[in-house]
Chain A
Amino acid sequence: MSTPTTTPAPGAHDEERPPAARTATPSPKGPPNRLRGWVTRAPLLPALVFMIVVTQLPFVATLVISFFDWNALYPEARSFGGFENYQEVLSDPELRDSVVTTALLTAVVVLVSLVLGLLLALLLDRSFRGRGVVRTLLIAPFLLVPVAAALLWKHVLYNPEYGLFNGVLNWLFGEKAPQPNWVSEMPLGAVQVSLIWQWTPFMMLILLAGLQSRPADAIEAARIDGAGAWQIFRYLTLPHLRRYLELGALLGSIYIVQNFDAVFTITSGGLGTANLPYTIYQTFYQGHEYGVASAAGVLVVIGSLVIATLALRVVSSLFREEVRA
């Protein structure tokens, strides 16, 4: 930092203001209250208006379209259909399957990458030679363009004829080596593994930050009192990490529920791997069923709102702690 810093006394701030907020000194000669309010709000308005127009209006439009019987190939036949589309979505086995697929995909990827991320974070939380290099190596998968990562897994690793996996099996077992067709034998697993590879670094980064914010004195005290490594982990580290685990799980869910690239690239939604984003994309982009696609979209939004409410609560509690600290 190039500027001299004078740290303000902690806890001196008003609860309702962020740490850097200063109380505006009311000047008696200033403009009337209302105008001043708008002057304070002015810098915020462009961003707020932009967000409302670009993100909220399309959802309103989706909601409206979802009540219409509308196929793009027969534009004249557009008519109001009430809840027909919703009935169709809820009774369509393909769409119901894609709900299950989405849940499976998200849950498995998030849980496995959380566990792996936790183990890696624990390994990286100690000092050893080349720790920075290892951290950089571990982050690399997360920084590959998602489509490139999916292509890498599909063609370079999974390919049954010349992929690396079967190549290594061939190396190890010679002539009689099993040569599975990874993508067609475990389609959902193939997508999950590639996503776990990309998301474990993300979880590791969040959990590592959590580990490094542990109060060192409490751990030192526990160690002096004779607590073992496992006891310290179980009764000190894990409770401290709880919020970080929740945060990782919820942020990961938000991103993976919406995953499109991996499903699109690795299986093209075939073999029972079509998740909701892919199915909706398919319904309107290739099926031209605008009404049905919109109804599905509305249901996805409702589903995400449930998850989002949980996520917001976690972020909010972390955030409040931060403000208080």
Chain B
Amino acid sequence: MSALTAGAPEAAPSAAPPKASAMAPRSVRRKNAALGLLAWACGLVFVLPIAWMVLTSLHSESDAATNPPSLAAPLTLDGYREFFSAGGGAGPWPALANSLMASVFSTLFVLVLALPAAYSLSIRPVRKWRDVLFFFLSTKMLPIVAGLLPIYLFAKNTDFLDNIWLLVILYTSMNLPIAVWMMQSFLAEVPSALIEAAQIDGARLPTVLTRVVAPVAAPGIAATALICFIFSWNEMLFARVLTGVVAQTAPVFLTGFITSQGLFLAKVCAASLVISLPVLAAGFAAQDKLVQGLSLGAVK
């Protein structure tokens, strides 16, 4: 965790009241307090649907579907129990395992491809490195859906349909541009004087990379990996079209959950929360670098 927060000076401690307010006139202090309260209110409004989802997931199906809502109904883990036994024998585990596999392997492939690429776009840049960088970005802006049919036909004719490795490849291509951009900006932060000093001291390339570049760039690389993981875990269009029973991922499993008649609110809430948990964890862990990643390194 400390590795992730290092190098993010904007996350300065904020709990302490500013010095100025102690001396400020009372009206200013009152205004500041009111605005603080307003910010708290906004935060609560935004998180309310999620809080409600948590509560619903802990209610029984009949308590979850009352109008007006029953706040104080007894809590139960039935929703979670039903989720984990849904879909026949194995429950959601195969879908979760597929999602994990697609996300982890595509993230690993992304790192393997993006790290050297970022190196030759920042530390030892090729000519026209900026054009290359923008080529990577431009692929991100073409809508996925336009390439879906050929990919589907290819998969159908090569027995790659309903195969998790196809998703691994596609997710790698989906995340690679973001990763190249992020890593380029992180590697560019490594002070060049540091590398030169190491080289003058006679350090060879592997030593320079592991002893000089890696410690400075590590938090950024970790954040990049987490963001790639999130995007792969969330993806649904490819997964829906290209997988079936065997390689189904968690988001697809989640949509298949609704078809049944009868009450399902608690179950759906439990399922949604369990499936979102890895993303929430990864997102909060990468919080400080999230903006930089999502804005492709343009915002620091």
Q: Interface stretch among B81-89, B90-98, B157-165, B282-290?
A: B282-290
Which chain A positions have C-beta within 8 A of B176? Answer: 47, 50-51
Interface pairs A-B: 3 shortest CB-CB = A128-B36, A43-B116, A58-B147
A21 touches B122 (CB 8 A): yes
Cα of A131 to Cα of B43 in the assembled complex, Å: 10
B287 touches A136 (CB 8 A): yes
One of B124, B125, B276, B287 near A139 (C-beta < 8 A): B287
**29 sampled A-B residue pairs with Cβ under 8 A:** A3-B216, A5-B191, A19-B189, A40-B120, A44-B116, A50-B113, A54-B170, A59-B147, A65-B149, A127-B17, A128-B14, A128-B35, A131-B14, A132-B14, A136-B284, A143-B284, A145-B276, A147-B236, A148-B251, A155-B264, A156-B53, A162-B65, A164-B69, A170-B67, A197-B46, A258-B143, A284-B148, A293-B149, A294-B149
Cα of A50 to Cα of B50 in the assembled complex, Å: 39
Cα of A260 to Cα of B196 in the assembled complex, Å: 49
Minimum Cβ distance to chain A for residue B196 (Å): 6
One of A47, A132, A133, A140 near B46 (C-beta < 8 A): A140
Which chain B positions have C-beta within 8 A of A155? Answer: 258, 264-265, 268
One of A47, A130, A202, A277 near B180 (C-beta < 8 A): A47
By a beta-carbon cutoff of 8 Å, the part of chain B in contact with chain A is 6-7, 10-11, 14-18, 32-33, 35-36, 38-40, 42-44, 46-47, 49-50, 52-53, 56, 64-69, 113-114, 116-117, 119-127, 129-130, 132, 134-154, 169-170, 172-173, 176-177, 180, 184, 187-197, 212, 215-216, 230, 233-234, 236-237, 241, 250-251, 254-255, 258, 264-265, 268-269, 271-273, 275-276, 279-280, 283-284, 287, 290-292, 294-300
- The 0/1 profile, CB within 8 Å of B marked 1, for residues 39-66 of chain A is 0111110111011001111110110010
A146 touches B49 (CB 8 A): no
Cα of A213 to Cα of B295 in the assembled complex, Å: 15
Cα of A41 to Cα of B196 in the assembled complex, Å: 21
Q: Which of A311-325 contact B (CB under 8 A)?
A: 311-312, 315-316, 318-319, 322
B255 touches A18 (CB 8 A): no
Chain B residue at minimum C-beta to C-beta distance from A50: B113
B49 touches A157 (CB 8 A): yes
Which chain A positions have C-beta within 8 A of B113? Answer: 46-47, 50
B116 touches A46 (CB 8 A): yes
Cα of A85 to Cα of B185 in the assembled complex, Å: 43
Which chain B positions have C-beta within 8 A of A260? Answer: 145, 236-237
Which chain B positions have C-beta within 8 A of A114? Answer: none
- Known contacts A139-B287, A301-B143; 5 additional CB pairs below 8 A are A47-B136, A58-B148, A129-B17, A134-B40, A145-B251
Q: Which of A138-167 contact B (CB under 8 A)?
A: 138-148, 151-153, 155-157, 161-162, 164, 166-167
B146 touches A62 (CB 8 A): yes
Verify if A181 is at the interface (C-beta below 8 Å from B).
Answer: no
Which chain B positions have C-beta within 8 A of A257? Answer: 143
Which residue among A51, A62, A141, A254 has the maximum number of chain B CB atoms within 10 Å of its CB?
Answer: A51
Which chain A positions have C-beta within 8 A of B47? Answer: 137-138, 140-141
Which chain B positions have C-beta within 8 A of A105? Answer: none
Which chain A positions have C-beta within 8 A of B172? Answer: 50, 54
B38 touches A254 (CB 8 A): no
B138 touches A123 (CB 8 A): no
Which secondary structure characterizes the binding site on chain A? helix
Cα of A19 to Cα of B276 in the assembled complex, Å: 38
Q: Interface stretch among A87-95, A183-191, A203-211?
A: A203-211
A123 touches B38 (CB 8 A): yes
Verify if A77 is at the interface (C-beta below 8 Å from B).
Answer: no
A170 touches B68 (CB 8 A): yes
Chain A residue at minimum C-beta to C-beta distance from B253: A147
A130 touches B40 (CB 8 A): yes
Chain B residue at minimum C-beta to C-beta distance from A250: B141
Which chain B positions have C-beta within 8 A of A197? Answer: 46, 49
Given contacts A47-B180, A62-B150, A138-B42, contact A247 B298 (CB under 8 A): yes
Verify if A235 is at the interface (C-beta below 8 Å from B).
Answer: no
One of B43, B129, B269, B280 near A152 (C-beta < 8 A): B269
Chain B residue at minimum C-beta to C-beta distance from A128: B36
Q: Which of A189-230 contact B (CB under 8 A)?
A: 197, 200-202, 205-206, 208-210, 212-213
Which chain A positions have C-beta within 8 A of B69? Answer: 162, 164, 167-168, 171
Minimum Cβ distance to chain B for residue A282 (Å): 11
Chain B residue at minimum C-beta to C-beta distance from A261: B236
Which chain A positions have C-beta within 8 A of B143? Answer: 257-258, 276-277, 297, 300-301, 304
A209 touches B299 (CB 8 A): yes
Verify if A29 is at the interface (C-beta below 8 Å from B).
Answer: no
Which chain A positions have C-beta within 8 A of B46? Answer: 137-138, 140-141, 197, 200-201
One of A138, A294, A300, A315 near B43 (C-beta < 8 A): A138
B126 touches A8 (CB 8 A): no
One of A50, A170, A251 near B295 (C-beta < 8 A): A251
Given contacts A3-B216, A297-B146, contact A322 B291 (CB under 8 A): no
Cα of A17 to Cα of B132 in the assembled complex, Å: 13
Cα of A171 to Cα of B71 in the assembled complex, Å: 12
Verify if A265 is at the interface (C-beta below 8 Å from B).
Answer: yes
One of B36, B142, B150 near A301 (C-beta < 8 A): B142
Cα of A325 to Cα of B58 in the assembled complex, Å: 52
Given contacts A44-B121, A44-B126, contact A254 B299 (CB under 8 A): no
Cα of A212 to Cα of B39 in the assembled complex, Å: 17
